[in-house]
Structure 1
Amino acid sequence: MKHNKEKPTTVSVNIGLFLYLQEKVCERKTKTEAYCNLLKKASENFVSPILKNRNQELNINQCHVTITDLSVEWHWHRSTVRSFLETLEEYGQIEIIRLPKSFLITMPVGANGTDNIIGTPDFGFVRGLHEVLSDWIADGVSIPVAGEKGIQLLKTEMACFSEAYKKEHPNDTDGLKQALKSHFESAKQQLLEQMAVATFKKVIRKHYAVKGNEAMTLFYDNDLGCDSEALLEASQILAELLVCGISPSLTHETPQTKAQFENLLESYKALLAQSVGHADHL
């Protein structure tokens, strides 16, 4: 993914402005409209009607939704909704707690005009990491360059945090030391997570992007009858085989079924590699 090198600009606006700027063209929501819809839901602590009896306690800027509800409301395919949320998560625009049949989403925006919460890495830092690592995945920069940019982003993040803390607590020297330590650990964790995901994407894209995923397509069409729920279950089995080498779901299956999933792994990897390439162009 290519980005211009201009200095990022942060703009603080009321959610109402986002809602005003939307232009309704058809029933299917644009990505901007979907994002605004999530902002509205988070600001109102929206809970999907089907989840009302869960008694889920929500914090500020949180909403509790299902993929099905968003798919119906946005007029999107379920897989498109899931991919969109995962991309927003990668950009640091939302935080997702994945529950068995629903998502608890937090929109990390300032409350009442305040800046980012003390102790949480600024989401400009996360976005910056994502951009640098996306360039590296696409062979736009080398490992030394990407690594140096990551270090600079971390240093900038810590400097900005220190300055913000001093403004809020001008005489709290001891508190600053502890806050800096805690914030560094949080930012470091973000760095580790982003790099772990990026390296996986880099490797799988390098080795499987040119391979076909026809076997997965035929499996979805013929064996699963285009049942997306069944595809999700099958994909979980394939992911377990890829990461762990075994899948508990195959324990009691026939040798033929086990062999079928083993044979699907290469096509599944190719599908993952292609999805990495598509995400780079969102």
Structure 2
Amino acid sequence: MAPPKAPPDTPTRDEFAALDAARAKLDGDVSALRNSIDSNNSDIGSLKAEVGSLHSKFDELLNRLAHPVTTKTEPASTHTLASSTTGASTASSTFDAASTPPSPVTPKWNSAEAAFRGGMTPSSVSVGKNIRIQLPDAEESGRSFNIKPEELGFFHGVPEDTALFLSNIEAMRVSETDSGLDAFIATIRTNFRPPIAVIRQQARARRWLPDSEDVVHYTFVKAAMLKTGWENMGEDELVSEVIEGIDPSIAKLVQTPFRADPTLSALRSELRMQETYWRAEYGRPL
């Protein structure tokens, strides 16, 4: 008779051996993990202590920021130092321990000294050199500024060049309000007044030079020349004449001349914006 067979779900001897080996390995791993944790306990403790110290310092810093400590300044104490000399005589000197040497005082800017070194101001200045203009007003008697030769230009006493020369000065007067400029312009016009026909011809012929000036400077110069040739010219006529001397690629975009009450101020604002796009589009930097 055959021996009874084991149920199919019963583990075999080999499987029992494998389970015992796995259990032994697991116990070894758990034991190694415990040993590792035990060996690192000291490091973990020191890390916790450092974190706690950082928290304490951070809380102290926040407390100082929330409640700043005001320090009371005490008056400087005076000490007496004794110094011995040869013989029996002695001398004492007193000094302030908290005293500091006075800070150097920055001298006030003097444009006259900057313009003319050594205090030598020329008695007469020919046109074309640096001209120093002093305000006659008593309230601003110390204010002056220098005009560079390239800004002023050259005038050789030719009446036909008077309008061109004064137009640059008129443009400067808009930004530099100075009664000295008014007197200078009046003197030039009195002594070198050209024929009115020449002034008007030059005013009409003046055009924008995009490679040497911006469009706003052109509008100031052109308007000054037009006002010299036609003293009673209105704003709308001035705007139209100024537009005539501008490059058509910009002039066609300007809308100020078509408005109800065109002004030179509105024209300059619009031209300034259009010039920026025009120079970028056509590659014409100033």
TM-score class, shorter: under 0.3
Query: What TM-score, normalized to structure 2?
Result: 0.20
Query: What TM-score, normalized to structure 1?
Result: 0.20
Structure whose alpha-carbon radius of gyration is higher: 2
Between structures 1 and 2, the one with greater helix share: 1
